[in-house]
């Protein structure tokens, strides 16, 4: 139990207002896939640069004994400097991370600097390129945030940013109260009461039956003073019907207001009589 608790704590970021934000580290599988995409690209770029440099060297009169130094320098530029520059310029992104939806951030959730990116890419030359990612996977498996050695030294981790889109659910008036809704007079509810109703209806399924019934009864009593006549129905169905009626009537009022403004638009935009148009 202590281990699970420690993992949860490490995945929270405490803001200055003492609010804990749940930040999701990227899984090892996604990190490995993103790294494979990135280093295939960086290797291809490095190989192209090396080919160009070695072919241009004889024409420039570069001695053959410097070819090894040129190859090492090109490898450092392509596999260390280039990834660091890309991560810094994109604030922790890369082609692989853009495709998979993660980003490298500091341990406090802030954007990384060139120092962080350079440490990561320099260490990555050994744990990702030379060991083909084996060292990175082994270290990430024993870390709560799936950090590799470069992240541990730089004080960074990979944060997963993609979340499933939640489509808002829209309901109509419950069938049991359809006839009542045609003649019901529902006054405008106080904003605080409207928020409480919306919160309750959205979270009702997570309450125990007793708590759900108690909250529904309390809210129904508060709503009843704004409704005439009050139907003899289940409190939760009553709240749902009132919420739908207020939503529909407020939407209708906004639509009428928009239509009136469109009718007045020519008058509001017109110039005073006899005033010249200098536009």
pLDDT of residue 276: 63
- DSSP track, 42-101: HHHHHHHHHHHHHHHHHHTT--GGGHHHHHHHHHHIIIIIHHHHHHHHTTS--HHHHHHT
pLDDT tens for 128-175 read 888 988 999 999 999 888 999 999 999 999 999 887 666 666 678 888
Lowest mean pLDDT, pick from 189-193, 208-212, 226-230, 264-268: 264-268
3-class secondary-structure state, position 18:
coil
Backbone angles phi, psi at 126, to 5 degrees: -90, -45
Q: Is 118 exposed, middle or buried (0-12, 13-18, 19+ CB in 10 A)?
A: buried
Q: CA quadruple 192, 197, 198, 203: dihedral positive or negative?
A: positive
Higher pLDDT, 75 or 171: 75
Two structure tokens written together for 170: 């829209």
The 10 Å CB-count burial string (b at 16+, else e) for 123-142 is bbbebbbeeebebbbebbee
Neighbours of 31 (CB within 10 A): 26
CA angle 63, 64, 70 (to 5 degrees): 90
Q: Taking residues 36-40, report their average pLDDT.
A: 93
pLDDT score, position 238: 92
Q: Indicate the pLDDT class of residue 19, thresholds 50, 70 and 90.
A: very low
Mean pLDDT of 63-76: 86
Mean pLDDT of 175-188: 88
Task: Specify the DSSP element, H or E, that contains 179.
Answer: helix 178-183
Q: Compute the distance between CA of residue 232 and CA of residue 59 in angstroms, rounded to an integer.
A: 95
For residue 215, give Cα distances in angstroms to 140, 187, 209, 235: 46, 21, 10, 9
Least confident of 9-18, 132-141, 193-202: 9-18
Instruction: Read off the DSSP letter of residue 155.
Output: T
Q: Which residue has the higher pLDDT, 47 or 276?
A: 47
Q: How confident is the model at residue 13 (pLDDT cuts 50, 70, 90)?
A: low
C-beta of residue 121 within 8 angstroms of C-beta of residue 84:
yes
- SS3 category, 169: coil
Residues 6+ apart with CB under 8 A from 86: 93, 94
pLDDT on residue 169 = 66
| In the predicted structure, residue 45 carries a pLDDT above the cut 90 | yes
Task: Quick: pLDDT tens for 81-126.
Answer: 999 999 999 999 999 999 999 999 998 888 999 999 999 999 999 9
pLDDT at 267: 76
pLDDT digits (tens, 9 = 90+) for 202-251: 888 888 999 999 999 999 999 999 999 999 889 999 999 999 998 888 88
Separation between Cα atoms, residue 176 and residue 235, nearest integer Å: 12
**What is the average pLDDT across 41-65?**
86
Predicted pLDDT of residue 138? 93
**CA end-to-end distance (rounded Å), the chain:** 73
Cα–Cα distance, 37 to 41 (Å, whole number): 6
Q: At residue 3, what are phi and psi to the nearest 5 degrees?
A: -65, -45
Q: In whole angstroms, what is the distance from residue 56 CA to residue 66 CA?
A: 13
CA–CA dist 278, 223 (Å, integer): 56
pLDDT band of 273, cuts 50, 70, 90: low
Confidence of residue 12 (pLDDT cuts 50, 70, 90): low
Q: Is the pLDDT of residue 20 over 60?
A: no
């Amino acid at each position: 139990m202590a281990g699970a608790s420690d993992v949860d704590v490490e995945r929270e970021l405490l803001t200055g207002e003492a609010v804990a934000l749940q930040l999701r580290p990227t899984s090892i599988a996604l990190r490995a896939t993103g790294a494979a995409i990135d280093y295939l690209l960086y290797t291809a770029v490095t190989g192209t640069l090396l080919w160009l440099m070695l072919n241009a060297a004889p024409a420039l009169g570069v001695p053959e004994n410097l070819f090894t130094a040129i190859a090492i320098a090109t490898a450092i530029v392509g596999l260390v400097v280039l990834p660091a520059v890309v991560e810094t310029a994109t604030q922790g992104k890369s082609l692989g991370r853009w495709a998979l939806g993660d980003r490298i951030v500091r341990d406090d959730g802030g954007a990384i600097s060139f120092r962080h990116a350079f440490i990561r890419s320099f260490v990555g030359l050994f744990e990702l390129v030379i060991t083909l990612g084996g060292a990175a996977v082994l270290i990430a498996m024993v870390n709560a945030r799936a950090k590799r050695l470069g992240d541990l030294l730089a004080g960074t981790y990979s944060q997963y940013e993609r979340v499933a889109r939640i489509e808002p659910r829209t309901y109509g008036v419950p069938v049991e109260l359809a006839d009542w809704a045609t003649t019901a007079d529902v006054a405008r509810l106080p904003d605080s009461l409207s928020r409480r109703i919306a919160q309750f209806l959205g979270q009702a399924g997570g309450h125990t039956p007793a708590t759900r019934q108690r909250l529904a009864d309390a809210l129904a009593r508060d709503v009843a003073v704004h409704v005439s006549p009050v139907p003899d129905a289940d409190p939760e169905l009553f709240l749902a019907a009132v919420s739908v009626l207020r939503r529909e009537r407020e939407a209708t009022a906004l639509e009428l207001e928009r239509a009136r403004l469109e009718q007045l638009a020519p008058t509001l935009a017109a110039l005073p009589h006899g005033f010249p148009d200098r536009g």
